[in-house]
Amino acid sequence: MTQIFDLILKNGHVATPWGIVKTDIAVMDGRIADIGDFSTATAREIIDCKGLHILPGAIDTQVHMREPGLTHKEDLSTGTLAAIAGGVTTVFEMPNTDPLTVSAGAMHDKLHRAQEKAFCDYAFFIGGCAENAHILAQLEKIPGCCGVKVFMGSSTGALLAAHDDVILKILQNGTRRVALHAEDEERLKSRKHIAETSHDVKDHPVWRDAECALQAVKRAVKLAREAGRRIHFLHVTSGDEMVYLRDHKDICTIETTPQHLTLSAPECYERLGTRAQMNPPIRDKKHTEMLWDAVNKGVVDVLGSDHAPHTLEEKAKEYPASPSGMTGVQTMVPVMLNHVNNGKLPLERVVDLLAHGPQRIYQIAGKGRIALGYDADFTVVDMAREKTITDKWIKSRCGWTPFDGMKVKGWVQGTILRGNVVMWDDEITDSATSRKSRGQPVRFADLLTNATNLPMDEVNVKPMDCC
């Protein structure tokens, strides 16, 4: 009897772990059932992908989405809708949204709400701070938790872990990789007068300079070695950090963002004003070029969007009262495809940065590659299609992007989540809203056993600035 698959993707150029090959993919029960020639096979749905590339579903391991108390702000519904519109099938949510994710109760609350709201798969970071450092070894084992996040500098005041004794205690309690926002708090405080005096956003990378980041990175590496803990540096922005970190790859992994690879100071601040403001800052072309060198020489392990969708009303405040952060989850894939077409890096490297890399770093179970038995998550792209990114295209509730008006070559044709086509040709499909294709919590290889004895006490940390 001939097997009837749920879905067959035919004639595509498939980004497999062994290279990009022209082949077909068969899907059954939400997973990749086979790879090969299925020209005579039968399926409930068959999609001809001639002329298209089929990539593993993009994984964005740094987003800020949930603000349930502020109806005009982003939440998991609009944020994950933006994700699937841009070819992202999985997101990792940072802990500095409302409510702060610093306790088991807050984590379970977010996981419960995500079941009803998320359009793509998801996981949540636990925020590491002085108040919960002693129980992080238990908190990090909650199913759906992707790890611990530490803010070394006051990008987010409520979760600040500025002092070495607190950071060391966090690193000593647990085993999973710890993600860090590395800026030195003392240097930030001593230089804040620069921003407060000038009120000019072009001074953002002067206030939060490269030395501020490098000092924090060096401290973190030293403490990680003392604790024997793996660490992951988020949104590394300077060439100085890359030069230092390439000698410490045995203990650390590195992320940068499409924004820092695409925008440069002072031009971006002159053109975009506070819309270009994020932490750590967009720096000058020298740093941009050094970031690219680190990407192409394998120092960088992963890309994250650092999606932080503040409203235009908030961003219009006078600097430095204007909040740092910009949208990114929907534009990450097309911006990087455009870099491929411009010869900045090969498509295989983008696949590694957006899928294989996240899977390795966070030990994601069953995602991040096109291989038998893995979830049928695909980002289907047309490398020849030319489009213009516009604010109108953005699904995020804030409705803007720093890349408004940017012409790109390379576009997301479709997003497939666990075998369900949730976006095709810029249209969100009816399947996206069905219960079977709604988002599910990510599983992790080091947490496949049930977590027990989780502390349910609330941790008293009040929210302050976001992102």
This prediction has a pTM of 0.95
CA-based nearest residue to 412, from 380, 438, 441, 389: 380
What's the pLDDT at 447? Answer: 84
Q: How far apart are CA 53 and CA 11, in angstroms?
A: 9
| Domain spans in the chain, listed from the N-terminal domain onward | 4-54+375-383+406-435, 57-368
CATH for 4-54+375-383+406-435?
2.30.40.10
Q: Spell out a b/e string for 405-434, using b for 16 or more CB atoms within 10 Å of the CB, else e.
A: ebebbbbbbbbbbbbbbbbbeeebbebbee
| Whether 161 contacts 152, CB under 8 Å | yes
Could you read off the pLDDT of 443-463 as tens digits, one per residue? 999 887 655 455 545 555 544
75 is catalytic: no
Q: What CATH code is assigned to 57-368?
A: 3.20.20.140
> Where does residue 95 rank: exposed (0-12), middle (13-18), buried (19+ CB within 10 A)?
buried
> What pLDDT digit, counting tens, does each position of 344-401 carry?
999 999 999 999 999 999 999 999 999 999 999 999 999 999 999 999 999 999 999 9
Alpha-carbon distance of 15 to 18, in angstroms, equals 8
Q: Which of 203, 306, 377, 382 is catalytic?
A: 306
Tell me the C-alpha distance between 240 and 293, whole Å. 12
Q: Which pLDDT score is estimated for 79?
A: 96
